């Protein structure tokens, strides 16, 4: 029996490990940026927008509007076409289905300007103009009287030498990735084309490189965190048995937490792993306080201070499960499970494993200075109050992603110089195809500079209104033929002008499949159907509040959603602060102000620092985590009636452990992890500064 108890920690770990290995195929890690995106309508729209072909586009530019630049862009085009992965957009043939539709419904889809016309005089004037003109006069044989005009369908690109140009900077080519092409192979081919004077951009770069770099970044962070924590524990503990068991317990915590998170969600953000190592180091706090207060070497009363510390931290993470932000939810659940397992092990299991008491030299005795903690609380509140007006919020979701500077710069280059850079992409959504076409036509009529391909089609209501308006033209076909002969045109020259069959063309209800066959980008969604378009920046104010229209910019698309999540996190955090203050009052009401200093000073310290930076949602999340840790340490110090040196040493070593775990995250290139690490480092520093103080010389004398 003693053998089983002595090795129980190892046996628990092996059991958890065996279970995890059996179920490992159900654990799926994701580096997808959608892990950052708020759940809801805007996330669905973002995914739909990228599936409409935007992610398959490749922009290629060669610098210089000269012979060298022209030769370079042609050589690049030849290479890209010969590899078999891409098709040049400017070489795409007109869609036969769309051309047939446009021809059949030309009198219904084009802009109609009815007017009183003397057919005979109009054709005689037209014949005279042709006969007397020194230049060739092209005639519209389908609309010689000029009743109809075609709307503008695409933004105007600049041309030089018959080739697209990128302003005055050079030549431009636009490619599409073929549907059957392998994205990884296409990416490797594109990378080979990079050289000085050549600019390449495609969302494909983000999909491939960000996923790879995020994985490398997380693996590096995991490795460094584990090594640092091992070094910290080796230096601090100097007890081989306790060291091995502590590392085994941390591994058990991580496996248990990861198992629960992967059971709740089918995909787990890979960032949870990096955060998991750091948050597991918080659990070691429980071990240090039991160890340095001799709970493992001798039988002592239950350590209520550690229980209060666990409850305060755990309650905050439990509250954050209510935040509708996938990354925060996964991190919070992981932390909650890991801390529960750690508390159970270090509180109930370790006292039975027979560890030696810490040697006297393990305690840290340093010089402290007397502090008036009421003044610390008051000055902290004043400092935070002064900093508050200067604090700002960053709800740009892209700042949480991996910061791929090279590709971000190339994207900015094309946005700044392309004609479409003057336009904003948007998604238009409606309940069905007919409603979508009707909305597209209405937008195009009201805002003619919009590029919206579906506006070339006709909805049922517009069809019936137009056919009614076209009734005066019935019979005009014969009249035009007769007048044309009399004016000198050859017989049949205007045989396609105003035929009755097209003026009375039966209405054809359109389906999504038909639209896709026409080469139009439409997508069915649970709420209906959508398409994409582009609007000039000048239209934004007038259109962004329109029902069913969404501007597709990450900075604005998720602005409201991220703002709502930020507010939810803030208010839940404040509710958590209320709970924490209540626990502090219950745990140490006689020294409440002393414990309160450990809460307000770190928050004020972080607030003052962030007067120069904007708060992201992950910054705010970690501020409340730091606050929970501060409450733990405040309770420990306030309840330390005896053995203050042991308590101070335990807190110091806990801070070193937490700093090693979270500090590495501050070096990450992933915005979300870096934000967490930065705030954690500031919090650890602030709490460390408080440890240098004491209430009075008399209070700490001889402890």
DSSP 395-460: --GGGGSB--HHHHHHHHHHHHHSGGGGEEEEEEEESSHHHHHHHHHHHHHHSTT-B-GGGGS--H
Per-residue pLDDT band at 581 (split at 50, 70, 90): confident
The burial of 335, by beta-carbon neighbours within 10 Å (0-12 exposed, 13-18 middle, 19 or more buried), is given as: buried
Higher per-residue pLDDT: 105 or 370: 105
pLDDT digit string (tens) for 93-128? 567 888 888 888 888 888 888 888 888 888 888 888
Stronger pLDDT, 229 or 487, i.e. the higher one:
487
Segment 257-286, tens digit of pLDDT: 988 998 888 888 887 887 777 787 788 888
What does the pLDDT read at residue 365?
Answer: 64
* pLDDT of the residue at 37: 65
614-615 and 392-393 strand pairing: parallel
> What's the CA gap between 298 and 271, in Å, rounded?
40
Contacts of 82 (CB under 8 A, 6+ apart): none
Please state whether beta strands 369-370 and 693-694 pair in parallel, antiparallel, or not at all (unpaired).
Answer: parallel
Contact 440, 531 (CB under 8 A): yes
Q: What is the mean pLDDT of the chain?
A: 82
Identify which of 424, 648, 417 has the alpha carbon closest to the alpha carbon of residue 551: 424
Answer whether 0.85 is exceeded by the pTM. Answer: no
324 within 8 A of 38, measured Cβ to Cβ: yes
Helix/strand/coil percent split, the chain, to 5: 65, 10, 25
């Amino acid at each position: 029996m003693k053998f089983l108890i002595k090795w129980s920690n190892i046996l628990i770990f092996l059991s958890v490990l065996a279970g995890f290995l059996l179920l490992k195929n159900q654990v799926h890690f994701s580096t997808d940026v959608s892990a950052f995106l708020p759940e809801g309508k805007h996330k669905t729209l973002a995914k739909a927008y990228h599936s409409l072909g935007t992610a398959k586009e490749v922009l290629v530019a060669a610098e210089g509007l000269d012979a060298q630049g022209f030769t370079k862009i042609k050589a690049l085009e030849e290479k890209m076409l010969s590899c078999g992965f891409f098709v040049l957009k400017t070489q795409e043939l007109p869609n036969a289905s769309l051309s047939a539709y446009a021809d059949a419904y030309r009198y219904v889809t084009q802009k109609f300007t009815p007017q009183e016309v003397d057919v005979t005089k109009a054709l005689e004037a037209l014949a005279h103009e042709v006969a007397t003109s020194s230049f060739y006069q092209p005639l519209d044989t389908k609309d010689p009287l000029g009743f109809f005009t075609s709307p503008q369908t695409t933004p105007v690109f600049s041309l030089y030498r018959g080739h697209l140009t990128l302003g005055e900077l050079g030549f431009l080519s636009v490619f599409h990735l073929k549907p059957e092409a392998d994205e990884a192979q296409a990416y490797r081919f594109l990378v080979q084309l990079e050289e000085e004077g050549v600019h390449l951009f495609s969302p494909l770069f983000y999909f491939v490189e960000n996923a790879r770099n995020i994985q490398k970044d997380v693996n590096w962070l995991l490795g460094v965190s584990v090594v640092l924590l091992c070094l910290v524990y080796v230096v601090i503990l100097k007890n081989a048995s306790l060291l091995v068991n502590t590392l085994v317990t941390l591994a058990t915590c991580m496996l248990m937490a990861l198992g629960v998170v992967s059971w709740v969600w089918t995909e787990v953000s890979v960032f949870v792993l990096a955060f998991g190592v750091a948050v597991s180091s918080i659990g070691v706090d429980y071990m240090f306080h039991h160890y340095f207060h001799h709970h493992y070497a001798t039988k002592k009363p239950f350590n209520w201070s550690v229980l209060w510390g666990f409850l305060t931290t755990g309650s905050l993470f439990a509250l954050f499960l209510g935040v509708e932000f996938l990354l925060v939810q996964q991190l919070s659940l992981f932390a909650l499970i890991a801390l529960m397992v750690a508390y159970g092990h270090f509180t109930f299991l370790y006292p039975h494993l027979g560890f030696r008491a810490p040697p006297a030299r393990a305690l840290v005795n340093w010089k402290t200075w007397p502090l008036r903690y009421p003044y610390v609380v008051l000055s902290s509140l004043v400092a935070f109050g002064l900093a508050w007006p200067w604090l700002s919020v960053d709800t740009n979701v892209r700042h949480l992603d991996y910061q791929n500077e090279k590709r971000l710069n190339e994207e900015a280059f094309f946005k700044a110089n392309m004609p479409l850079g003057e336009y904003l992409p948007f998604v238009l959504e409606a309940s069905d195809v007919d409603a979508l076409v009707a909305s597209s036509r209405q937008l195009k009529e009201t805002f003619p500079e919009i590029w919206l391909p579906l506006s070339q089609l006709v909805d049922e209501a517009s069809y019936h209104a137009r056919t009614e308006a076209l009734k005066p033209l019935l019979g005009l076909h014969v009249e035009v033929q007769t007048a044309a002969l009399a004016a000198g045109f050859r017989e049949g020259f205007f045989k396609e002008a105003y035929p009755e069959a097209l003026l009375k063309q039966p209405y054809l209800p359109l389906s999504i499949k038909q639209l896709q066959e026409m080469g139009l980008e439409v997508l069915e969604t649970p709420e209906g159907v959508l398409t994409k378009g582009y609007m000039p920046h000048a239209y934004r104010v007038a259109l962004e509040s329109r029902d069913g229209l969404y501007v597709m910019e990450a900075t604005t698309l998720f602005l409201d959603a991220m703002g709502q999540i930020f507010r939810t996190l803030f208010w839940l955090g404040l509710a958590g602060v209320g709970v924490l203050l209540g626990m502090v009052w219950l745990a140490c009401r006689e020294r409440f102000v002393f414990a309160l200093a450990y809460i307000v000073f770190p928050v004020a310290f972080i607030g003052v620092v962030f007067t120069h930076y904007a708060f992201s949602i992950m910054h705010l999340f970690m501020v409340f985590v730091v606050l929970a840790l501060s409450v733990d340490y405040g309770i420990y110090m306030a309840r330390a009636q005896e053995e203050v040196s042991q308590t101070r040493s335990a807190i110091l070593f806990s801070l070193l452990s937490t700093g090693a775990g979270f500090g590495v995250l501050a070096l990450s290139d992933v915005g979300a992890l870096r934000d967490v690490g930065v705030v954690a480092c500031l919090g650890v520093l602030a709490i460390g500064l408080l440890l240098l103080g004491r209430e009075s010389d008399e209070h700490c004398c001889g402890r």
